[in-house]
Amino acid sequence: MSNEPKITFHGAAGTVTGSCMELHYGGSTVLIDCGLFQGSRTLETLNRDPFSFDVRRIDAVVLTHAHIDHSGLLPKLSAEGYRGPIYCTPQTKDLLYYMLPDAGRIQESEAERRNRRRDRRDEVPFEPIYTEADSMAAYSLCDTVELNEWFEPVPGFRTRFWNAGHILGSASAEMHVGGSHLLFSGDLGPHHKAFHADPEAPVGLDHVVCESTYGDRVREDVSIEERRTQLEAEIKAALTRGGNLVIPVFALERTQELLLDIATLINTGRLAFPQVFIDSPLATRATEVFAKHANDLEDMGSGEIFHHPSFHYTATTMESMRLNTMSGAIIMAASGMCEAGRIRHHLRYNLARRESTILFVGFQAAGSLGRTILDGASRVRIWGQDVAVRAQIRRIDSYSAHGDQTDLKEWITGRMPINGSLFLDHGEPVSIETLRRLMQGEGVLSIVTPQIGETYSLPTGAPAKRLKTGDVELQSAVGRDWQNDYADFSVRLKKELQDIESASARREALARMGEILRSYQSHREKRKSRQD
């Protein structure tokens, strides 16, 4: 067993963010992705924890694509001493030139904003996970490889990239290591996605690690034209109400797909000339990368797209704040899950307006603000303030950059025979379990659903064997956490207290809540003393 490759899952196991796998063989170690955890506050604290591997032992990084949940801890890796290569496609490197520094600036600005909050005045100053300078240091380590070109990130790890059809530059990574034939899907796009060809990959493998984001969901089969019709209806309905149409977007790919469709609707006379504001400096820069690679993109149609006269790219904070006075505009802002960036600013100003519309066009992870809104919250907390949700909340699923259950099933069966094990990662528990049951029925004999911290051997022609169990504390951070529950409770508390008939009864209710908290703490201390 000591001569077999070993894999450890450091993220995106039981959750959809924090992708990071450590592949070890023959004294060499390669990371596949090194992504940021996104979602609940508890999950995001994992980004601050020390890496659960020795940074000095990492020889190379193979990066599947530029999304921050796959690349966003590379600056931390570099800041802690990593100086090896980061292999990626040329398009991914072009995107990282903007995405990594932007992530560093967000870390710095979020730390500054939290330290300004009055309720944190007596606390230890909040430090950024990494800085913009750390991000540029990580970028300098990038080394590009074209699709279908063999390379060795370290001797004995024969590797090549395959088109994953997810975003610009995205790839699946095929590896021959220690006699085992491995494939890491990265994130997989749906069939017939705008801009990109359908995913491709080799067949007849020993072990396959496949994402499971939409393993429990079969989306309606919608063509690009049908998707544009859906968007046209949402835009017209929202603007008829007189308020703004606010769209939380991922700066990379989702923004550009929306711009493609809106420009096409305008160019073909189906929409008048609405004012469209792209309020994300990163989205603006990413769009320029798309324009640079326009000749490699599919479905571009005719007429002006990315530089359409209806599109206004806001650069400064002051330009963004001026949008507070707007009505009847389309405002696209990052981040896509509403966890950071300028979208929170626009939600704070538009959620409480009955005439406004919030349109979700991407996946919302458990515990994220976007998921909370989509799940029907009547009030949410943004930057420590309660905000009523009165706006129209809408959703279009047909813009997903991820394949649905049908796409994933077809991709996996297309890789068969799988002589060892199929690992299902990068999904929430229900999605993973649903896909696991489906693939068992398709004849996949060994299916592994890894947990964070688990290690497996990867023998040739035989199922994987678990060598180390995961970290229970890390696994408990996945999904909703106590801070999500606290936010829900706190936004309801004032209204529920006001519903009590008198001021004295309200004070009594508060006193009883205080007694419950004190009694619970006393109970915990007594139980701990008995255990000691």
Which secondary structure element, helix H or strand E, spans residue 9, and what is its range? strand 6-9
Q: What is the dihedral of CA 215, 220, 221, 224, to 10 degrees?
A: -110
Instruction: Per residue of the chain (532 residues), give pLDDT as tens.
Output: 458 999 999 999 999 999 999 999 999 999 999 999 987 777 888 899 999 999 999 999 999 999 999 999 999 999 999 999 999 999 999 999 999 999 999 899 888 887 887 666 677 888 999 999 999 999 999 999 999 999 999 999 999 999 999 999 999 999 999 999 999 999 999 988 889 999 999 999 999 999 999 999 998 888 999 999 999 999 999 999 999 999 999 899 999 999 999 999 999 999 999 999 999 999 999 999 999 998 889 888 777 899 999 999 998 989 999 998 899 999 999 888 898 889 999 999 999 999 999 999 988 877 889 999 999 999 999 987 899 999 999 999 888 889 999 999 999 999 999 999 999 999 999 999 999 999 999 989 899 999 999 999 999 999 999 999 987 666 555 655 555 566 556 666 767 787 888 888 888 888 888 888 788 777 767 666 665 5
Q: Which of 5, 37, 4 is nearest to 20 (CA)?
A: 37
CA–CA dist 310, 233 (Å, integer): 18
Annotated domain spans of the chain: 6-217+401-476, 224-395, 481-513
Question: Three-state secondary structure along 213-252?
Answer: CCCCCCCCCCCHHHHHHHHHHHHHHHHHCCCCEEEECCCC
CATH topology classification for 6-217+401-476: Metallo-beta-lactamase; Chain A (3.60.15)
Domain 224-395 has CATH 3.40.920.10: no
